[in-house]
Amino acid sequence: MCGVLEGNARDAVSARSARQAVERAVFAQPLFGPGMWVVDVGCGPGSITLGIGDGHCASTVDFLTADAHALPFGDASVDVVFAHAVFEHLKDPGAALAEFRRVLRPGGSLALSTSDWSRARLRPKTANVDAALRGHYLLCRRAGGDPFAGRSIPAAVTATGFTDVRTKTRYRTDTTYRALATYVEARLVTALETATTPDRDQLASAARSAWSWARSGDGDFAQCWIELLATR
Ligand SMILES: C[S@@+](CC[C@H](N)C(=O)[O-])C[C@H]1O[C@@H](n2cnc3c(N)ncnc32)[C@H](O)[C@@H]1O
């Protein structure tokens, strides 16, 4: 079992540390078996990684720093590649998938869980919510990611040469409606402090919308997750 980190991301204590394998990796559980070499790419704080290792496959769990686009493993050396909430952040998802395919043994498995903000459920979805989220998506894209990655991941996996691609859509309440508004507002305000680009006006407008959203009444939020299994 191995968790792959980018930089010192494991030190970043956040809400993500609450993510547990029993819930987040349940779709991949049938893939894990004793003695298997499982790699959790973009493992973040490692809470899911430790859960996968605990009782599913491995007696040891190692963490190492590497880039998803250049994994430090030999060709056909890995049984399962797992990645949760990572493709949303990758600059070149196609290259990363090719790299995952390279390290997987023939017959090995790919298990990805990727969010799709285009299908997130927010009620009420007011004009302020829409405008604030547009600003949020702009920041995601400026960081090189894709907030709608879950939408395109099945086609990308197939195009990379994986077979037996299976997907399931799952909705989760990752955070509350109000907490999401506060998070989006804080992100936009922070980005505005250094914004010198033509995006500045849009970010300022989105920040005002997020401010209003965060001070509106309660609502419901459920994130859309695409859980994908495929075979090398
Ligand atoms: C939203 S976090 C998810 C963390 C963990 N998988 C979870 O669900 O709790 C995204 C993670 O992807 C990592 N990441 C982003 N780009 C990466 C890259 N090119 N190579 C490796 N990891 C990357 C980040 O460092 C971060 O830990």
* pLDDT digit string, tens, across residues 142-193: 999 999 999 999 999 999 999 999 999 999 998 999 999 999 999 999 999 8
How many CB atoms are closer than 10 A to CB 73? 18
Q: Residue range 104-118: average pLDDT?
A: 98
At 60 the pLDDT is: 86
Q: Domain range holding 157? A: 2-231
Total count of domains within the chain: 1
Give Cα 158 distance to the centre of its chain: 19
Greatest C-alpha distance within the chain: 54
pLDDT attached to residue 5: 73
CA 81 remoteness from chain centre = 14
Q: Is 63 in the pocket of ligand 1 (CB under 6 A)?
A: no
CA-nearest residue for atom 3, ligand 1, is 85
**Ligand 1 atom with the shortest distance to the CA of 67:** 20
End-to-end C-alpha distance for the chain, whole angstroms: 19
pLDDT of residue 19 exceeding 90: no
The Cα–Cα gap between 188 and 229 comes to: 34
Q: Across all residues in the chain, what is the average pLDDT?
A: 91
The closest residue, in CA terms, to atom 9 on ligand 1 is 16
Q: Is the CB of 140 under 6 A from ligand 1?
A: no
Mean pLDDT value across residues 44-70: 85
Ligand 1: distance of its center to the CA of 5 in Å?
A: 7
Minimal-distance CA residue to ligand 1 atom 26? 44
Q: Is the dihedral of CA 107, 59, 98, 150 positive or negative?
A: positive
- The answer to whether the CB of 80 is under 6 A from ligand 1 is no
- Give the distance from CA 217 to its chain's centroid: 28
Distance (Å, rounded) from C-alpha 195 to C-alpha 19?
32
Q: Is the pLDDT of residue 52 over 70?
A: yes
Q: What is the CATH classification number for the domain harbouring 34?
A: 3.40.50.150
pTM: 0.92
